[in-house]
Amino acid sequence: MPQELITDLQTLFSINISEIFRAGLVFLTGLILASILSRLIHRVVKNHWSIHQSYITRQAVYWFIFVLFIIMTLRQLGFDLSVLVGAAGILTLAIGFASQTSASNIISGLFLLGEKPFEVGDVIQVDGTEGEVISIDLLSAKIRTFDNLFVRIPNETLLKTKVITNTRYPIRRFDIVMGVAYKEDMQRVIDVLMDVADKNPICLDEPKPLFIHRGFGDSSVDFQFSVWSTRANWLELKNSMQLQIKEAFDREDIEIPFPHRTIYTGSTTDPMPLEIIDRKSPG
């Protein structure tokens, strides 16, 4: 009876032990070949392409060979793949509708791969988030913010919105916007600022520091003083320049005014009358 049952089962599924063994061999071969070939190609391309591109290539090669050998395994087992093709068509339609967003992210990722607005290691600002790019994957990019948060940004968002790459160019400008009191001699202020910039070794000599008069504010004469540094020194420049300008202004007695209002009694020459009342004494 058992032998008859096995024979019936074999007849039902049109398979035998040797075919299972062959299928298993094909599957294992595919697994090993996919792994070896993908690593080989990764080793070849990693010195020529970016980390992101070589990673995507490795994954694509692996899955392509693996799926190929899965199909070969199924054929070896005697499955009629034409049925699968029909089912796959219907499945694709269903999945297509369901995964529009994912497909958009994948395609956006491919566009980003070609355009390369940023790479792993760059610092970017997108949608109010600023941080270092730690990976760029099929569906999204991963960012580590400076306060050590993990942020996942879909590739579609990266393609559709403005992305600022802080680390694209080797030098960067820092703008100091401030004001001094109206009583100050502006040429003296400019001289003091230029002297501070000149003495700061990480402040680039060129491009030259730039002074821009921004206008006459309510409480101060407003200006912008722009200085440059290497990308790596930008934070140190930001801190050191502001501290040194404050020290220099204190030393040179240049006032950075608080917001204030001047009240006139209707004439600039008559003083305003003032009476001090002692609250403790009666009357």
Partner 1 sequence: MKELPIDKLWQALELNINESLLITLGSLKLVIRHDTKEWSIAYEWQQDSDDEKPSCLLGKDLDFTEIEQNIHRFAYSNNTSVLQLRPRLADRSVVTRPRVPFNLLARQRTWLYVSTPIWLEVVIGDNVTLKEIPVFRPSDTWFGSNTTEGEIAYATRTHARLKLDEISFNQYRAITPVELINDTEKPILLERISLPVPLLHLYSDKEKNLWTSPVSIVREPNNGTSIKIEPNSPAEVTQATELALPRQSIERNVFTRTLHALLG
Q: How many whole angstroms separate alpha carbon 173 and alpha carbon 118?
A: 20
Q: Residue with structure tokens 């080797």? A: 170
> Of 123, 200, 227, 234, which one interacts with partner 1 (CB under 8 A)?
200
Number of residues that bind partner 1 (CB under 8 A): 16
Least gap, CB of 269 to partner 1 (angstroms):
48
Least distance in angstroms from the C-beta of 169 to partner 1: 5
Among residues 4, 115, 147, 206, the one that binds partner 1 under rule CB under 8 A = 206
**Cβ-contact 217, 208 below 8 angstroms:** no
Number of helices (H) and strands (E) in the chain: give both, helices first: 8, 8
Grouping H, G, I as helix, E, B as strand and the rest as coil, residue 189 is helix
Cβ proximity to partner 1: between 8 and 195 the closer is: 195
Q: Are 134 and 142 in contact (CB under 8 A)?
A: yes
Q: Which stretch binds partner 1 (CB under 8 A): 10-18, 30-38, 102-110, 201-209?
A: 201-209
What's the min distance (Å) between Cβ of 205 and partner 1? 4
Per CB under 8 A, the segment of 70-78, 106-114, 199-207, 209-217 that binds partner 1 is: 199-207
- Looking at residues 217 to 246 of the shown chain, list those that interact with partner 1 (rule: CB under 8 A): 228-230, 233
**Total residue count of the chain as it appears in this document:** 283
CB of 234 to partner 1, least distance (A): 12
**Minimal distance in Å, beta carbon 97 to partner 1?**
45
* Neighbouring residues of 58: CB distance < 8 A, sequence distance ≥ 6: 38, 39, 41, 42
Determine the straight-line distance between the first and last CA of the chain, rounded to whole angstroms.
124
Of the two residues 170 and 273, which places its CB atom closer to partner 1 in the complex? 170
Site for partner 1 in 151-190 (CB under 8 A): 169-171
Peptide bond into 207 cis (omega under 30): yes
In the complex, the smallest distance separating the C-beta of residue 220 from partner 1, rounded to whole angstroms, is 30
- Only one of the segments 12-20, 194-202, 261-269, 272-280 lies at the binding site for partner 1 (rule: CB under 8 A); that segment is 194-202
Q: How far is the CB of 202 from partner 1 (least distance, A)?
A: 6
φ/ψ of 66, rounded to 5, equals: -65, -45
Residue with Cβ nearer partner 1 (175 or 218): 175
CB nearer partner 1, residue 39 or residue 208: 208
CA angle 89, 94, 96 (to 5 degrees): 90
Min. distance of Cβ 193 from partner 1 in angstroms? 16
* Region from 46-54, 75-83, 123-131, 202-210 binding partner 1, contact rule CB under 8 A: 202-210
Of the candidates 91, 207, 236, 265, which one interacts with partner 1 according to CB under 8 A?
A: 207
Do 229 and 204 contact (CB within 8 A), yes or no?
yes
Q: Which residues of the shown chain bind partner 1 in the complex (CB under 8 A)?
A: 169-171, 198, 200-207, 228-230, 233
